[in-house]
Structures are given as C-alpha cells and as structure tokens.
Amino acid sequence: MTKSWFVTGAGRGLGRAIAEAALARGDRVTATSRRLEDVADLADRYGERVLPLGLDIRNRAEAAPALTAAQARFGRIAVVVNNAARSLIGAVEEVTEAEARDLIDTNLLGTLWVTQAALPILREQGGGHVVQISSGGGVISWPMNGVYQASKWGIEGMSEALAQESGHLGIKVTIVQAGHMESGFARPTASDQPQFDAYARPRALLSGVGARKGNDPKDLALDLLKVIDAENPPLRVLLGRPLADIRAVYEERLAVWERGVG
C-alpha cells in the first residue's frame, strides 16, 4: 500500500536516501531541509508525489505548519522520519557554549518539536510510525563526540518513553541506531575552540575509528523500508552498525552491575 512520508534533513545523506527510496517504490514524500533549494529538485524528478519544504527544525514555530502542509497535500501521514542533525567533533572541555546550544537545538530539541507537531495528526488519524534517527553513538560513546552523543542519548530516552505513551494509540516508534556513513554528514564539524594538547591521545583514537569505511546511505535506506513495512517493527534497530562492539560494552556493564561496589 502506498505510504506518505515526512522526512527531515532530506537534502543530503541518509535523509535524501530515505526520501528517494520511498519515492522509487511509488510512495509520497514531504521532503524538508533547512534550505528549500536542497530538496526542490526532488519535485522536478517525482512531480506531485513530492512536497519540498524549507524547515528549520530548531524553530518550534515552523514544525506544526510543515506537518499541516504535508497533511493537506497527501492526507494521511504514515511515517515521520526525524533525520535532520548535525555533528560536532571536540573534547567536552573544548566545545563552546554556542556550539553546544546549536547542536542540542538541532539534534534533540528539533526532533522533539517535529515529534510534538506530528503526534496530534497521528492521534487523529488513528496511528502512524515515528522513526527517530539515532546512531551507534546513542548506545555507546567514544571520545571527541561527547556533546553529539549527549543529543543522541537524549533522543533514545525520549523516544523509548514516547513508545510507551503512544502504543495504545496505534502509533509505532522506532529508534534507528545508524552506523557511520559515506555522506556529507560523515564529514564531522570540528569545534571552533582551539584543541588542547591534553586530549591528543583520545583524539588519535577517534581518528583511527573514523578511518573505517562507512556505509552507503542508500543501503541503509532500503533496510529502513523493510522496518517500516514490518507488521510489528522493533523499538530499536541497528542499521550498518556492528553488534559485536556494542555487545562487548553491554556485557562489561552487566558484569560491573552484578559485581556491585562491595
């Protein structure tokens, strides 16, 4: 059955791949980006099945009109994908206040504002699917990503609560813990704060991790379609992220908790 999607951050990377994968199979998509020109070309290719919108998710006042426009154009909104995000590389001590606020405003609060704007529509129509794009950094942490990962851990906690609040309303919630991608987003934004020599060692460790080959966003988008089409989609799903390193971290945590402090 044809679905109508609302995708944030659809100008590039995973968001663009999700929008194009949905359109390629005949679905309809409201594709949003902070800059309208980044998504306008989709309408040239897919015509009336695309509604390109400029949406700065940091501005709460823009979220509800964007969802309302999508509903007016396509009727039922089956899937809301909160994908828009930004990255930031820097030790916790190095990140400036302005950088931290902009990142949290984008990644965490922006996701919250779009989710809040979508929920009345999903409740009124009797259901829908909210997809929150997290990352491997929403499960385990690595150095030089502390503030970025704080935003993703926040999405994880908020979305797990949302799933418990809205399940009886027919609203499904899936948190996508996506792996590193070969996309524009994969080029991390470095903090404007000067780097401190004290963190040279963990910075080098991150460089080794970052050198790994990333996933193709198109592959992850196709995997996400399978999740969306599932009768009972999971609350959390790993896409392009190896389970082994996450399992090792969780096993260590469980061992420490079982051992206790005594």
Active site residues: 134, 148, 152
Q: What is the CA radius of gyration of the chain?
A: 19
Say which residue the tokens 């590193």 belong to.
180
Cβ atoms of residues 68 and 89 within 8 Å: no
172 Cα distance to chain centroid: 16
DSSP per position, 28-83: EEEEEESSGGGTHHHHHHHGGGEEEEE--TT-HHHHHHHHHHHHHHHSS--EEEE-
Say which residue the tokens 């193709």 belong to.
216
Nearest Cα neighbor of 135 from 96, 87, 206 is 87
